[in-house]
Amino acid sequence: MATPVKMPELGESITEGTITRWIKQEGDRVEADEPLFEVSTDKVDTEVPSPVAGVLKSIKVQADETVEVGAELAVIGGGGGGEAEAPAAEEETAEGGAGAEAEEAAEAEPEEGEAKPAAKAKSRQDKAAAGAGGNGKAAAGVSPLVRRLAREHDVDLSQIQGSGSGGRVRREDVEAYVQQRGKEPAAAEAPAAKGKAAAAPAAPPRVAVPLTKGLREEVVPATRLRKVIAERMVASLQTSAQLTSAVEIDMTRVMRLRERAKDEFKAREGVSLSPMPFAVLALIAAIKEYPTANSAMDEDGNLHVYQDVHLGVAVDTPKGLFVPVVKNAESLNLAGLAKAIADVAARTRDGKIAPDELSGSTISLTNTGSRGAVWDTPIINQPNAAIFATPAIVKRPVVVDDPDLGEVVAVRHMMYGILTYDHRIIDGADAARFLVKVKEVLEAADFEGDLGLERE
């Protein structure tokens, strides 16, 4: 029995995807849920598993081709019925990949009651062209990343000689064009698009810095994910005015509570009790008093202040950095947060996180302390207004005010609470107030009720 493999739904508002690599080839045996191919969209890169076990009979859409959700990609013979399901995401929310529209569909005969493939291909091309406003037919068949780059750099794709299949424009072609344009006199540049896009300043071209010569070296090609992370980090710094502030937090009470409760907590909840959920509860308490930390600014300068806290949690994996999202974190207690964070982190490391769980954060948290760092200046996860960092908790001598002895030096568990914030949205004084609230909640450590403990 032949089973069609179709482009799965890859998340809200995603209508198409680019096949970046076939993991299995025609004639290969494939098991159900075994990775079959890789797909890239403007939001996520992911591996798609096979819907059934069988033999990959035919591949209808080749690598670098872009097709709509629901399009037939391949046929597997010898397996059971059913269609491709949503994939398990393995790479961080990303923009991109070079791609092209499938052309062979225009030559295939349509089934009864089905629109002609040529018309479908034209519809896809029209949509692609609309996505890179001002480029017309030149944008047809290019990937979401290429269209985005064209918009950002005010590039007319018809002016670029593509190096892809059939002369299609790839990301490298746009980048090379922008870099070369930056070296030419202004008169030699293509005219800017009219209207709102023309008023926006063009992004500065990438400057080629000569590499050091004469050294022993190993040239390691950057992975796709590493390139995506690089692009997004630079884009974040270019998008918002980022500053970092910090306070010192005495975590001694939290650590003592954790020591008392950790064994019973793990037995009851099934996850370890780390300092992170305590920090998240304090973060949410601060957001309730200073809600602009949980916001974003749109292109027109309007501020969107969110009532729900969708917490992006930076997760370190062998492939690179991912930011899965814990939805509605404000509705969870300490145990709920511990389990939710452990769940998304484990599924992210195992490559089982869903694409929709890698976007939609309203504020983010990074736990660099898990790897021993005592200080950090994190970069904002766009379009968030802020990211909170929890570096390592270390024992050191601190001057404390004892009610009986006065000022004395004692060994305490200390941590820096660090906030990188968008100065377009949050002023320095407000960032300081926000951090002081986090500090107050953690130092009071009134979490016995969450842990089922009697207050000492």
Residues marked as catalytic: 423, 427
| 217 Cβ contact partners less than 8 Å away, ≥ 6 residues apart | none
Q: What is the DSSP letter of 158?
A: G
Helix (H, G, I), strand (E, B) or coil at 288: helix
Q: Report d(CA 59, CA 28) in Å as an integer.
A: 11
Residue 101 near residue 128 (C-beta atoms within 8 A): yes
Joined together, the tokens standing for residue 186 give 């202004």
- Return the closest-CA partner of residue 86 out of 69, 103, 99, 98: 69
β-strands 386-389, 315-317 pairing = unpaired
Q: Report d(CA 50, CA 62) in Å as an integer.
A: 16
Q: Report d(CA 330, CA 294) in Å as an integer.
A: 11
Which stretches within 59-143 are classed as H helix?
A: 117-131
- H or E element: which one contains 145? helix 144-152
Instruction: Give, in order, the Cα–Cα distances in Å from 129 to each of 68, 91, 159, 166.
Output: 14, 27, 15, 17
In degrees, to the nearest 5, what angle opens at C-alpha 95 toward C-alphas 385 and 322?
Answer: 60
